[in-house]
Structure formats: C-alpha cells, structure tokens
Amino acid sequence: MSDQNKHHKTGYERLLDPSLNKSTAYSEEERDRYHLRGLLPPKTFTIEEQKKRVLANLRRKDSDIGKYIFLQGLHDRNETLYYSLVIDNIVEIMPLIYTPTVGHACSQFADIFRRPRGLYITPNDKGKVTEVLRNWPKKNVRVIVITDGQRILGLGDLGANGMGIPIGKLSLYVACAGIHPSECLPIMLDVGTGNHQLRDNSMYLGLNQERLVGEPYDELVDEIINGISEVYPEALIQFEDFLTPNAYKLLHRYEEQVLCFNDDIQGTAAVSLAGLIAATRISGTAMKDQRILFLGAGSAATGIGGLIEEALVREGLSEQDARKRLWFCNSSGLLTASSDRIADHNRRYAHEHEPMSMLEAIKTLKPTALIGATGHAGIINERAVKLMSAINDRPVIFALSNPTSKAECTAQEAYDWSDGRVIFASGSPFPPVEFDGKLYRPGQGNNAYIFPGIGLGAIACRASRITTEMFLASVHALALTVAQSDLDAGSIYPPLSDIREVSLKLAVAVAEQAVIDGVAQASSDDWTSTIGAMMYQANYPD
C-alpha cells in the first residue's frame, strides 16, 4: 500500500496502524472525519495526558524485561506515543530498550516474540535478496542496522534472537537523533547458529542449522549489500555485533564502496576516545602522553586502539611511537610479538616484550588508562585498581562490556578501591556512587552518544562514505559537550538527558567534515539549522 493510500485509511484501520494511530487523542472532528465514532471511549486526551498514563503503567511493572515487553507493545500500537515517551524520559527508558535490558530480551527473544519487525534474510533467499528487500513497505529507508547475531553484546551467539539489537539501535536513532521511524530498517542475517541450546528449543524462531561460513556466507553478504545499494541507494548501513573476524572483514570490504560503518569497532572507539580526551581535563595528562593498556583484544578493543593511534598521530607522534603507547592483554596475558596465533587486527600492537600477566603488565608498563573490553565480569579486580592508583594520581579505568552483568568491574568497586580518585566510565549504566561524603555520577561510555549523530550527519550531507576524519570530528564534538559541572561530578560524558542536542552537534561536525573530505553530495551555509529542521519530532499527524 502506498503512503498516499495509507493516509486515506479510515475507521478501525487507522487504529491498527501504529504510524497513524492516535488512540484517545483523536479530536471530535477527527472522529467524524475518519469514522471513529463508537470505536473509542468518548473522552479526548492530549499526548501529554497519554504519556502520564503510560508512564504510570510502565512503572508498575516489577521487572525490566516486563517493562521491555510493555514498551515494545506500545511501539507496535502507537509509534508516535512510544517515541514521545522515550524522548521525554530518555534517562529512564534507554536502559530498558537498549543496554542492559536488551541483552536479556535477546536471550529470551523467541519466548517473548509478539509481532515481527524488520526483515529476516537467510541462505534460502540467495538469488532473490533484492526481492526480499523490496518486500519492506517503506521506500525511503535511510538507515539500516544489520547483524548476524553471532556476538550479541557479551552474550555470544544468539542467532536470530539477535534481532533485538537492530530494533533497539534504530529506536535510538529515532529518539536520540531524530531520524524518522519510516526511514529505519532492522535486518537480521540469519545464517544459522552454533548455539545448540537455542537450536534445541522448540520455540526458537531462526534457522535450525549450523552457521553458514566461508565463501557461501561472503556471497550472501555481497548479495545483501548490492541489493541495498539498488533498492535503498542512499541508506547508511551499520554493521552490528558480528564476530571479530567477520566484523573486520566486512568493514574493510565495504567501507570504500558504500556508506557504512561498524559500531562495535568504530562507534565504540569514538565514544571511548572522546571519554579519554575529556578525562585529560581532570587528570592533566595530555593525550600525547597517555599509555593505555587494553584488557581484551577483540573488535572493540582494537577498534579503540586504532582510532587512538590516529588521534596520537595527529598530535604529532609517529605511527610507531603512537602504537608503542597502546598495549593489549588477552586471556593468555600481554600480547607480544612472540604470542601464539596473533590475529591480523592485533598484529600492529604485538610489541617486542617478554610475556607477562595483566597485573605484571600494569606494574611494568605503568599505564595511565586501563580499558576493559573483555565480556568477563570482575577481571578488573581490586589488585588491578590499586596498582593503577599507585601509579596515577587520577587513574582512568573504563569497564566497557555490556550488559551490566559482564562489566569488568562496577563503579562502586572502582571508587572504593581507588579511594575515590578513579576517572571511571562503563558501557552499561551504573547508579551514582557516594564515597567519602561526595556523590559521583559515573559516566556511561554509551555508543548512543556517537552512532545517532554520525548517522544524522551522514544522511544530512548525503555522504557517499564515512571517513576516519568524520569519526574524529564526532569525537572532538562530543568531548567539547562535557561541561565542567559534569567533570566535577565524576562524569566524562554529558548527561543522557541532553542526547538530542549532543547528536545535533555531532551531526553538524560530521557534515562539515564530510564536505572538507569531498564525500558530501549536499551542502549548507548553516548546518545547524538545516539538520535541526530535519529532526523528527514525535507529534501526532493531522
């Protein structure tokens, strides 16, 4: 059905269309115009009154997964009310529709499934992927988030259950950056799963087979990317939660061909680098003087390392000197040139050094910052924090793994073990921490600070691709939004309540950089006004 015909729906059909439904907010005149008399209770409510009722009902739920299900039901019934609620209550609701609750939701996705959302593409669709893409009813798609479900947060292979991630990410594109809901498309590339517990579950929704690998997998992804380029030629593609080898392979294969990025590699890197830059305002240690030890050597950690390296080179260091400031520990200890089975994405950071444990590496290398991206809770233990605190007046410690249950340490632990001197950030939210009579608001290094603004800026300028310089522009724009009052409260990120304003500033920086880099196909004399006017406001249609 065309969008024109959709807006001529009358009566009960309008109430069943979440993009049109206003429920009890239909006016008396609208109830006559659309033949809604008798289909609704007689009293008309404003959207503010509706949000008050919905928020009260949400807060009555006694579990976060119950709240997630409630919110998805609202999304399915009344899209405008859903986004208006999320935008106005982003601090409370973001953890319910994304990390940490989305991890629990993905684990139970088959059991809580209510209504399909997005596209599922499988090996059975090979040769007709373009036809599948054309089945999507919206024809103005500008942002696509795609996953194959193999590395969902820190939870591993969840197969088709991973669809919760693209759905959640795109909700944040709308709420945080004002991308219109009709321009968003979640895609689940279901190529099977190695998770036999899922496959033994009779309720599992995905393909009950081992994962497709090798050339057949690559050919299917190729067909998808080519199909997107044909059906939605101006769409931004965000790769999400692919296993590290595939994450790097796909990014390197397509980043020069189409408008795309990998949020786990580049988004996590950008938000982490912005946090490190903001942290220098507290520690007094310049970026060029940082020594950073990473716990974990997967796509997130090496992605952060790669962008920090770029930033250090721009600070005047040689590539070799920049890399020498970045060290990585994996499950076997410090990654060195003599380590066994060094992955390609790790090789540049495998320095000549004797093997040693994480704690020995802290004592020997004397890092200014410790960044955890392992998916293993508790790996940053009391001994590690105390060693970092002995070396640094203001140690920087990031525990970035999601969901909260996978965080390398908690905010409370970091403050307690460092006598309140830590500069702390985490991937999932932690509550405020009181230490020695002072209340700290630990920063959340949430990728939502980065990817919505990147997407909005790229769409606004009709970028043909996303450059490293565009990511660095977003980094510096984000770091500049951190006020002194935030730093005084222990946070190296701005309040999430300011996320739409932050996304607009990032989008402007990205668009301006795209013009400089020669990848923008649109221009503006005032990007702030141009992009601000584009941003979706969750108001009912007339």
Q: What are the tens digits of pLDDT across the range 474-520?
A: 999 999 999 999 999 999 999 999 999 999 999 999 999 999 999 99
The one-character DSSP state at 524 is: -
Where in the sequence of the chain do the CATH 3.40.50.10380 domains occur? 97-258
Q: Kindly report the three-state secondary structure assignment for every residue of 54-83.
A: HHHHHHHCCCHHHHHHHHHHHHHHCHHHHH
CATH annotation of 1-45: 1.20.1370.30
The one catalytic residue in 22, 169, 406, 505 is 169
Mean of the per-residue pLDDT values of the chain: 95
- Burial string for 68-92 (b: 16+ CB within 10 Å, else e) reads bbbbbebbebbbbbbbbbbbebbeb
What confidence tens digit (pLDDT) does each residue in 130-181 have? 999 999 999 999 999 999 999 998 889 999 999 999 999 999 999 999 999 9
d(CA 466, CA 510): 9
Tokens 């991308």 locate to: 179
Domain 97-258 sits in CATH at: 3.40.50.10380
Query: Range(s) for CATH 3.40.50.720 in the chain?
Result: 264-542
Angle at 184 between CA 514 and CA 34, to 5 degrees: 130
Mean pLDDT for 285-305 is 94
Q: What does the pLDDT read at residue 7?
A: 53
* C-beta neighbour count of 364 within 10 angstroms: 13
- How far apart CA 457 and CA 33 sit, in angstroms, is 39
What does the pLDDT look like over 26-85, one tens digit per residue? 999 999 999 999 999 999 999 999 999 999 999 999 999 999 999 999 999 999 999 999
Reply yes or no on whether 98 is catalytic. yes
Longest dimension (CA), the chain: 80
Banded model confidence at residue 541, pLDDT cuts 50, 70, 90: confident
Sheet strands side by side (includes 143-147): 119-121, 184-189, 143-147, 236-239, 260-262
Residue 247 CA to residue 249 CA, distance in Å, equals 6
Measured distance CA(148)–CA(163) in Å, rounded: 8
* DSSP-derived pairing of the beta strands 184-189 and 143-147: parallel
Which of 82, 83, 98, 248 is catalytic? The answer is 98
Cis omega (within 30 of 0) for bond into 137: no
With cut-offs at 50, 70 and 90, classify the pLDDT of residue 3.
very low
The backbone torsions φ and ψ at residue 483, rounded to the nearest 5 degrees and listed phi first, read -85, 165
Give pLDDT, residue 169: 98
Residue 204 is a catalytic residue: no
Between CA 515 and CA 504 the distance in angstroms is 17
Answer whether 253's CB lies under 8 Å from 246's CB. Answer: no
3-state secondary structure of 370: strand
Q: Within 13 Å of residue 79, how many CA atoms lie on the same side as its CB?
A: 18
Over range 247-251, report the average pLDDT: 96
- Options 3.20.20.70, 3.40.50.720, 3.40.1030.10, 3.40.50.980; which CATH number does 264-542 get? 3.40.50.720
**pTM (two decimals):** 0.94
